[in-house]
Structure 1
């Protein structure tokens, strides 16, 4: 399984290079086969189409940012500063991984499958912002958080757009901090007037992300991955894996404690052939944690 994942990452890296150099529309599957040095059968073993290959490139980046957002909050009191750093992670990954040209390619392609995928990505980001606004500023913001998420997204997009037009240096941390301070003022104004346009929870997109696998499967993968390490790292990895597995199997995982362990565990695999596999497993860990920690809230609301 891990070997297959390595080969898949090799194909994705080749496809990304070609999409950025030649453009998505001007890159054929045969080009990808030649660049990656694989057969057509190998390509279709991983992807059903060129579209799916592009979607996987973007999805993996989104997953990476979701993992880093959870890790960055480890051992810290929550608040606007943490939220600002979490927003910054997405912006930096987009730039570092050169994803913006790929987004533009999707928007200009007219391909319905790709556009639908990007719609789900955008809705997912807005849903994350809505949820974080309630967590950071308090339960009183829930009726207004969806509108605030749109306002936050819009302000950030426009500041970045006009920074380029006006040739002003993009200082991401300063811009984000400025926006979040304005956002709190807007939230209080909406609350004072009891006004909102978008009902809570409307950003949830059915099928935006698959449900996490069974806990037993994720726990087994954690232990198997830790066992692939060598020397002292293996002992440390197995201890981390045992702890994470135990928390996942519990009725209500302790979020702050998992955040403390999850980052160091994933970092054991940085720069190794197992890095993408570790990221994939941590995606499932965080999905499981979120599902388990949100369930009691939903039950209580009913």
Structure 2
């Protein structure tokens, strides 16, 4: 991410926390960042896009840390899961995201609300998939139910703790308690009740993955055009064209895509395209998982 983009995001983020998203104006961001209006619009089309960039950047950090935690470890290891969930909660605290979410919830902007819903959907789906890793024999039909229950227990324990104490709460203790509650439920679930929410409840239509691939290819083609106009390096163009060609295949080769993602991030590091490339590669990760 360029220094100027980071400067704008940092200023906007602080204002969204202090004043609220709705009460923060573009002019407030310009004054806080010490930049001209033209500079802001070089990077963002609107205040909404600026907020999206903040949330996407934090989500990228969370996903990266979660992957690093899992390297060389069994996905069925409960300690890995606890550590991965802790990353998200601590990141939310560090960046005061709950405060930001509260101010955005009053927004009338349908596109922004949809974006926030997608963030929530993605987190529930990730937690559900991890329960399938943890308890494949018991949780398979209940993964989304368990994700909702786990998230609800965690969220409300944290809120209720704050109502009765000013002391710092041990987040890992909360997560462990919520996990043990779900595990206890899973031991008897199939003998008691059918799943409330089908595992596919949040998946969208059957063509959702195809749509994702199509949208990624479109973004790659747009990036390729920008590289031509902005005189990008031959290496950058080759990597972009590789992704386009591979994703257009009937069955993209996941192992090849995985291998090229890291080298692509390095090739675009500290360039004006770094943020866009990060977003694209994160979407490719999700497609091939």
Question: What is the TM-score of this pair, normalised by structure 1?
Answer: 0.71
Alpha carbons of 1:83 and 1:263: their partners in 2 closer, same or farther (altered >3 Å)?
farther
Tell me which residue corresponds to 1:17.
14
Alpha carbons of 1:159 and 1:36: their partners in 2 closer, same or farther (altered >3 Å)?
same
Tell me which residue corresponds to 1:34.
31
Tell me which residue corresponds to 2:61.
64
User: Does structure 1 conserve the Cα–Cα contact (< 8 Å) formed by 2:144 and 2:199?
Assistant: yes
Distance in 2 between residues matched to 1:169 and 1:31, nearest whole Å: 33
Q: Which residue of 73, 76, 94 maps to 2:70?
A: 73
Q: CA deviation at 1:281?
A: 4.2
Alpha carbons of 1:265 and 1:51: their partners in 2 closer, same or farther (altered >3 Å)?
closer
SS at match of 2:185: helix
Task: Report the count of equivalent residues.
Answer: 266
Gaps of 5+ in 1: 229-240, 294-302
Matches within 5 A, 1:173-184: 173-184=172-183
SS at match of 1:143: coil
Distance in 1 between residues matched to 2:252 and 2:12, nearest whole Å: 42
Alpha carbons of 1:290 and 1:17: their partners in 2 closer, same or farther (altered >3 Å)?
closer
Distance in 2 between residues matched to 1:114 and 1:285, nearest whole Å: 22
User: Does structure 1 conserve the Cα–Cα contact (< 8 Å) formed by 2:212 and 2:287?
Assistant: no
Distance in 2 between residues matched to 1:51 and 1:126, nearest whole Å: 24
Q: CA deviation at 1:138?
A: 0.7
Residues 226-260 of structure 1: per-residue CA shift (max 9 Å, x gap): x99xxxxxxxxxxxx9xxx9xx99965459xx69x
Question: What is the TM-score of this pair, normalised by structure 2?
Answer: 0.74
Distance in 2 between residues matched to 1:125 and 1:186, nearest whole Å: 21
Gaps of 5+ in 2: none
SS at match of 1:108: coil
Q: Which residue of 98, 112, 127 maps to 2:110?
A: 112
